[in-house]
Structure 1
Amino acid sequence: MTITSRYTYAAAMLLALTLTGCSASASSTNVLAPSARSASAVPTPTPTAIPGDTDGDGTLSEFEKQVAAQNAPRDYALPDGTVVSIDPKVPLPAEVVAAIRGQFAEYGAYALALSSHSDVSEQQARSDVSATFLADLDALAEALGKGIVLTYQAQSSVPGGGEETLWVCTASKGQYPVQALADGDKFNADVQAWAASRGYEVIYIQ
């Protein structure tokens, strides 16, 4: 092989190596470069859930804020000064129920008794006590964050003279859920059904 041939052969080999390197470099670049498809496949982050956002729109409306505040746990002071935590979404603690029974025991049958009396002054006194009873019941419901139904027994006059014992009830917001009944089982079932459908809690004074 002549000197000229050797130079020609070396040049050809150098050119081939250069082209091979360029091809490999271009191929590597294509592999590493992110594609448009990869960029578009990035998942959208799931919005953080907001407590009280019942419609899932990511914000709290004024109504949703009011509902959340109404359902929020709160402190309730017992007559002896003990503070108890109240969760409006669950039944009241036993000590709170006992305190409520004590608070309303004096109203009992006298506040909403069904028997009629001819004495005008006594009728007025009964009306005054009933108004206080209802106001105190509404204040209690507000403090507890839930509706309350109080039930107890009362005496009612019967035709021809005499009296009978009936079960009666009154709910906060001036509601009278069910008709007074002498049948305690039927009365209890009716009251519980009414209260459950409205989120009220039933408390038996007697």
Structure 2
Amino acid sequence: MSWGRNITLSVVAIALTTTLVSCSAAADTLNELAAAPPTATATPEALEGDLNGDGKLTTFETEWLAKTKADAAVRNYALADGTVIQVDPSQTLPEQVRNDIVAQFAEDIAVTTSSVEGDVRDARRQVMIDRVNQVKAATGRDVMVVYPSLSLSSPDAGKTDTQMVWSSVNSAPEDGNPFTGPAYDVDRDAYIAKATEVAGDKYDVIVLG
């Protein structure tokens, strides 16, 4: 009986020891977990063109992204003599490009400053508007062209009672909202100053004459 009881006690002692060791190890593990800094949650990288932040691109966002990249791309602008100038739409137009644009309007200015009928000058103005939009397409820059035009000195003046005035045409804004330069002025320098103020950083002001 004594021998059997000793074996039983030994087994119980071993079991208790194992349990205590296991509990101690578990406690150590819990303490280590408690002391460990929390694992940072990885922040997903922003998706280019994801305007609403939902992590995917809609058809509109895809088209918008493609257009934005195309609008910002550096352009190769060919001068009249065949020289190619690189134009960055985020920068003002290089001097060589500005001079080339002035030359493109030479025929228009010959008409606007002549003594032709007023409706002929008005029709030429539309030609000039189309031309500035072509400049925008070629350079990626919005342009405001300041130019001289012969005009009646007053609404009731006769055909020979004329004066030279300064006005402007500009490329169509991207948002489609109408935009016009300042009202005409007989003072060239005063008009250029007003046009430059109105144009701000959005338009390159190019003076013809």
TM-score interval for Structure 1 and Structure 2 normalised by the shorter chain? 0.5 to 0.7
Quick one: structure 1 residues 187 and 130, their matched pair in 2 at CA, closer, same or farther if it must change by over 3 Å? closer
Q: Match of 2:96, as an amino acid?
A: E
Q: Structure 1 residue 152 and structure 2 residue 147: aligned?
A: yes
* Stretches of structure 2 lacking an aligned partner (at least 5 in a row): 173-177
- What secondary structure, in the 3-state scheme, does the structure 1 residue paired with 2:150 have? strand
CA drift of 1:163 comes to: 3.9
**1:28-50 deviation per Cα after TM superposition (whole angstroms, max 9, x unaligned):** 34345689x95xx5324143251
Q: Which residue of 1 aligns with 2:168?
A: 169
- RMSD between superposed Cα atoms in Å: 4.0
CA drift of 1:139 comes to: 1.4
Does the 8 A contact of 2:102 with 2:207 survive in 1?
yes
- What secondary structure, in the 3-state scheme, does the structure 2 residue paired with 1:106 have? helix
Q: Match of 1:156, as an amino acid?
A: S
Q: Structure 1 residue 95 and structure 2 residue 85: aligned?
A: no
* Stretches of structure 1 lacking an aligned partner (at least 5 in a row): none
Given candidates 138, 151, 159, the residue that maps to 1:143 is: 138
Does the 8 A contact of 1:116 with 1:157 survive in 2?
no
Quick one: structure 1 residues 128 and 186, their matched pair in 2 at CA, closer, same or farther if it must change by over 3 Å? closer
**1:85-139 deviation per Cα after TM superposition (whole angstroms, max 9, x unaligned):** 222222111221121112222322x3434x7646xxx965x56655543333221
Quick one: structure 1 residues 15 and 193, their matched pair in 2 at CA, closer, same or farther if it must change by over 3 Å? same
TM, length-normalised to structure 1: 0.67
CA drift of 1:181 comes to: 0.4
Q: Structure 1 residue 69 and structure 2 residue 70: aligned?
A: yes
Q: Which residue of 2 aligns with 1:187?
A: 191
TM, length-normalised to structure 2: 0.66
CA drift of 1:18 comes to: 4.8
CA drift of 1:15 comes to: 7.3
**1:34-68 deviation per Cα after TM superposition (whole angstroms, max 9, x unaligned):** 89x95xx5324143251x55555553253454344
CA drift of 1:194 comes to: 3.0
Does the 8 A contact of 1:76 with 1:143 survive in 2?
yes
Report which stretch shifted further, 69-78 or 26-35: 26-35
CA drift of 1:140 comes to: 1.4
Does the 8 A contact of 2:148 with 2:167 survive in 1?
yes
